[in-house]
């Protein structure tokens, strides 16, 4: 007998490539049929068959307040009742721009867009336009959206140019991108020593979240800042995932690093499609209509998305918000680690703010190569077993997880009890 989820997936495959509108949703990495959801509330959501799950994906990060937070819903409803889009300036756009610049000292000017990919693409174009250079540096395992220049994997040597990681990306586009190893200070220094005058920008996730959660070392980020300053390159921090998720001043506040440009997304849209990029005034003033770097978007600063984002940003400024969120994430990761150790399972976990990573290896990885050493079969077994228990983790061993303000002791305890049962099966 087929389930409703299976039936919907088969129908979807007839009309949508792979049956999904974003690849990781297809469960290709873990196998099985994706779950189709119909509603969420707080730390939980329910699938089309009525089964509830504790959600540790949170729409891949934006839902820092949990599903359907009443104040966010109210803001969206009130705004939508006055119009969903104008294609013209609104006061709310100004309010959220002011707030972003107040909360994040590195932002002197900011522009709103509709997705993290759009923000990343625009920041790269702006960096090239400002510096007059073409080459950029990214790091193996970091994901910055599906722009051609950023869908690039490492070459065969430390200083070889990258190769396209997707069909449809021209080799000549990839040739402008150098891909280095994350946390490799020596590799970065060597590259700048040889090519520093040609590098427009370095783009990096200060806490990587798309090869699972990997922390940057302070020395690594400090080296990037020093070398970019020395060689006239721009440092771009991709905080689409970490922005207002790991702290009120984002990851750059935790590390004490001031970038030239910052990419934001997810949390600033409160679960609706919105992102932004911003930074130094002299750089941002190169954008049209002031400068010669063109960027535009019909739905940029959409009033409904801005309303959700503004309310979310107001909520996370409450005293102790991030202390509580961080404590929740640590309770989860510490508990999972203890449950695995009790049952003799090779496992580790770590958290930064409201983000966490789980790994089927003895210690948390520090690079893409170490991530690839994790036991993916063990993760896949764990994922499906926890899914049966009503616990929804990201359907991939290479994605970070998220807690929200709605996750409390009850949800964490239920999760750890389920994990103990699953680990006892000797993954």
| For residue 386, pLDDT beyond 50 | yes
Percent of the chain beyond pLDDT 90? Answer: 90
- Please say whether the beta carbons of 399 and 212 come within 8 A: yes
Higher pLDDT, 211 or 175: 211
Neighbours of 218 (CB within 10 A): 12
Neighbours of 56 (CB within 10 A): 23
Average pLDDT over residues 208-232: 97
Higher pLDDT, 365 or 172: 365
424: pLDDT confidence band, cut at 50, 70 and 90? Answer: very high
The whole-number pLDDT of residue 2 equals 84
| For residue 5, pLDDT beyond 70 | yes
Whether the upstream peptide bond of residue 323 has omega within 30° of 0, thus cis, is no
What does the mean pLDDT of the chain come to?
Answer: 95
- Tens digit of each residue's pLDDT (9 = 90 or more) over 114-140: 999 999 999 999 999 999 999 999 999
| For residue 155, pLDDT beyond 70 | no
Write the Ramachandran bin of 68: left for phi over 0, alpha for psi from -120 to 50, otherwise beta. left
Q: How far apart are CA 64 and CA 264, in angstroms?
A: 14
Average pLDDT over residues 147-160: 61
360: pLDDT confidence band, cut at 50, 70 and 90? Answer: very high
The whole-number pLDDT of residue 162 equals 60
The whole-number pLDDT of residue 427 equals 67
Average pLDDT over residues 215-229: 98
1: pLDDT confidence band, cut at 50, 70 and 90? Answer: low
Average pLDDT over residues 37-60: 97
| For residue 150, pLDDT beyond 90 | no
The whole-number pLDDT of residue 262 equals 98
Average pLDDT over residues 68-86: 98
The whole-number pLDDT of residue 66 equals 98
Nearest of 215, 196, 226 to residue 142 by alpha carbon:
215
The whole-number pLDDT of residue 158 equals 39
Average pLDDT over residues 417-422: 98
| For residue 304, pLDDT beyond 50 | yes
The whole-number pLDDT of residue 156 equals 38
Q: How far apart are CA 366 and CA 196, in angstroms?
A: 25
| For residue 245, pLDDT beyond 60 | yes
- Tens digit of each residue's pLDDT (9 = 90 or more) over 387-405: 999 999 999 999 999 999 9
Q: Looking at the annotation, which residues are catalytic?
A: 143, 238, 266
| For residue 14, pLDDT beyond 70 | yes
Q: What is the 3-state secondary structure (H, E, C) of the chain?
A: CCCHHHHHHHHHHHHCHHHCCCHHHHCCCCCCCCCCEEEEEECEEEECCCCEEEECCHHHCCCCCCECCHHHHHHHHHHHCCCCCCCCCCHHHHHHHHHHHHHCCCCCEEEEECCHHHHHHHHHHHHHHHHCCCEEEEECCCCCCCCHHHCEECCCCCCCECEECCCCCCHHHHCCEEEECCCCHHHHHHHHHHHHHHEEEEEECCEECCCCCEECCHHHHHHHHHHHHHHCCEEEEEECCCCCCCCCCHHHHHHCCCCCEEEECHHHHCCCCCEEEEECHHHHCCECCCCCECCCCCCCCCHHHHHHHHHHHHHCCCCCHHHHHHHHHHHHHHHHHHHHHHCCCCCEEEEECCEEEEECCCCCCCCHHHHCCCCHHHHHHHHHHHHHCCEECCCCCCCCEECCCCCCHHHHHHHHHHHHHHHCCCC
């Amino acid at each position: 007998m087929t389930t409703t989820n299976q039936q919907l997936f088969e129908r979807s495959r007839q009309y949508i490539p792979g049956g999904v509108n974003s690849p990781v949703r297809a469960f290709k990495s873990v196998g099985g049929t994706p779950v189709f959801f119909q509603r969420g509330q707080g730390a939980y959501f329910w699938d089309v068959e009525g089964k509830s799950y504790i959600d540790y994906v949170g729409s891949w990060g934006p839902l820092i307040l949990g599903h359907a937070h009443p104040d966010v819903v109210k803001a969206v409803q009130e705004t939508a009742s006055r119009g969903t889009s104008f294609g013209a300036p609104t006061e709310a756009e100004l309010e959220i721009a002011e707030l972003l610049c107040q909360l994040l000292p590195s932002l002197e000017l900011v522009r709103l867009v509709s997705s993290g990919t759009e923000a990343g693409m625009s920041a790269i174009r702006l960096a090239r336009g400002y510096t007059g250079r073409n080459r950029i540096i990214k790091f193996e395992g970091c994901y910055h959206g599906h722009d051609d220049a950023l869908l690039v994997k490492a070459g065969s040597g430390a200083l070889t140019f990258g190769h396209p990681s997707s069909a449809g990306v021209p080799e000549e586009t990839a040739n402008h991108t150098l891909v280095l190893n994350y946390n490799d200070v020596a590799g970065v220094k060597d590259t700048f020593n040889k090519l520093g005058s040609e590098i427009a920008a370095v783009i990096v996730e200060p806490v990587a979240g798309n090869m699972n959660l990997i922390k940057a070392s302070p020395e690594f980020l400090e080296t990037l800042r020093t070398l970019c300053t020395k060689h006239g390159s721009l440092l771009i921090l991709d905080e689409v995932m970490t922005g207002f998720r790991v702290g009120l001043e984002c990851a750059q506040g935790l590390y004490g690093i001031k970038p030239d440009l910052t990419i934001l997304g997810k949390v600033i849209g409160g679960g609706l499609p919105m992102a932004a990029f911003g930074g130094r005034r002299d750089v941002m003033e190169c954008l049209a209509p002031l400068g010669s770097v063109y960027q535009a978007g019909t739905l940029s600063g959409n009033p409904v998305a801005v309303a959700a984002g503004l309310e979310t940003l107001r909520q996370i400024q409450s005293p102790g918000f991030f202390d509580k969120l961080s404590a929740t994430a640590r309770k989860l990761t510490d508990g999972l680690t203890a449950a695995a150790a009790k049952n003799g399972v090779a496992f580790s976990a770590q958290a930064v703010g409201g983000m966490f990573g789980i790994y089927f290896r003895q210690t948390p990885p520090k690079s893409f190569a170490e991530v690839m050493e994790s036991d993916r079969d063990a993760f896949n077994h764990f994922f499906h077993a926890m899914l049966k228990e009503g616990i929804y983790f990201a359907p991939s061993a290479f994605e970070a997880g998220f807690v929200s303000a709605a996750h409390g002791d009850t949800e964490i305890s239920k999760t750890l009890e389920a994990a103990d049962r699953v680990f006892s099966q000797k993954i």
